[in-house]
Structure 1
């Protein structure tokens, strides 16, 4: 049986841990050769080792998504080694713990540069290669915080909400502009996922789960594999008539 991503070449940002690592592993398991990129090269190499140990094909590269030269260099590595690029997962992201009152310009700029400008820079560079390879698909990572402010205390992280709130519309704009190049663009909005990004101890604690169950319809914390599976499907031919949408993968968080 042909694997879902046989003969496809994928570029995954922030693939050294969490959702990015699980996505890279999933795409490789389903037949793709994966360029594993992360600002932490050792973490990217570890993901690559996991893929290779499972019989997959991957290369590791250091990429700061705020740096166009890093992105272009990584893209060229994929083209030189595999001759094409078909799939992009714009996953790299971060958050700092700031309320509105204590939010600094430096923290605002950092989060917006990585979460939003980074997706723009990566998409702009990689879409050129995808188009030259005959087309493909892009998935951007949004968040349920694109639509609601999620907080267990009295403050939020306005810079994170602003950065993720822009992704669905950015995704639609890319979908419109890249459709003539045979490139589909969608985004996935994860709910609370058991990774260090969300403070693993808090998310998996009894108190944390009790708080989240007030919103969750599926009464468990999400796993990186839940998100990776959705991303893989949106990138595949099975989703070939889906373009420009945001898909919440959130255990029903946004339903209530």
Structure 2
């Protein structure tokens, strides 16, 4: 129960890593505001939390919309009076190489993956500060540091948007330290979710390619990331601030 009596705001919590993180924090005592662009996805996560005995609320949030973010913060304030934890998990990717990348796709990915984290943090941090402080974890990726490709083409807009997350994290850590708010980020390696095509990370061919880099010879699971996020949010990590933590099966080691 490392998060007993804490209230958490999680974006993109209607599926994948976000859902698993919401379930993890709820199991560890937190009340969770589950936000997602999908009302059905958010509602299902809340159902799963409540079925396990936890406490949760759902809110529809497109992280590009400051108004929707503010409405969700108001929901948390009205329900529980405070917020202590934020997980900036919402993210997208589109399948574009450099040659096929459009300005519209570039803006779409940046507005969610990077600007969205800024907007959510800017709206949620004041309530965390009012609540006595807490912690924020942003989701990055190993592709913030290296390009992962088996075909020779990359997704430059995704790489660039995620590459900004560690520096946004550092800047927020510096500014929010005076408000007793720690800010860190987690960089997942290849994780078996539907974020990318599920088969692209779970097929025997994909695993054979990834074993060239992985030291732990398996694809990651959402629970691997949720456990790292939970730890960074907890008092056990109270002297850790401004870092990017790779959770990648050793991908970045070689």
Question: Shorter-chain-normalised TM-score: which range?
Answer: over 0.9
Counterpart for residue 151 of structure 1: 149
CA distance in 2 between counterparts of 1:173 and 1:89 reads: 16
Could you list the structure 1 runs, at least 4 aligned residues long, displaced by more than 4 angstroms after superposition: none
Q: How many matched pairs?
A: 254
**TM-score, length of structure 2 as denominator length:** 1.00
**1:123 — aligned with what?**
121
Whole-angstrom distance in 2 between the partners of 1:201 and 1:128: 41
Alignment pair present for 1:203 and 2:183: no
1:11-66 CA distance string (max 9 Å, x none): 00000000000000000000000000000011000000000000000001100000
Residues 157-212 of structure 1: CA deviation (Å, up to 9, x unaligned): 00000000011011000000000000000000000000001211121100000000
2: distance between equivalents of 1:72 and 1:103?
32
The Cα of 1:91 is off from its aligned counterpart by 0.2
Counterpart for residue 51 of structure 1: 49
Task: Determine the C-alpha separation between the residues in 2 that align with 1:160 and 1:230.
Answer: 22
Q: Which residue of 1 aligns with 2:36?
A: 38
**Deviation of the 1:137 alpha carbon:** 0.1
**Structure 1: where are the runs of 5+ without partners?**
none
- Contact kept? 1:6, 1:30, Cα under 8 Å: yes
CA offsets, 1:142-169, max 9 Å, x none?
A: 0000000011112000000000001101
- Name the counterpart of 2:9: 11
Structure 2: gaps (5+ residues): none
Give the structure 2 partner of residue 78 of structure 1. 76
Render the CA deviation track for 1:222-245: whole Å, top value 9, x for unaligned.
000000000000000000000000
Q: Deviations over 1:47-86 (max 9, x none)?
A: 0000000000000110000000000000110010001000
Partner of residue 108, structure 2:
110
Answering whether residue 63 of structure 2 is matched by residue 65 of structure 1, we say: yes
2:188 aligned partner:
190
Q: Structure 2: how far apart are the matches of 1:25 and 1:79?
A: 21
**Residue 253 of structure 2 aligns to a residue in which SS?**
coil
Which position in structure 2 is the counterpart of 1:233? 231
TM-score (norm 1): 0.99
SS at 1:70's partner residue? helix
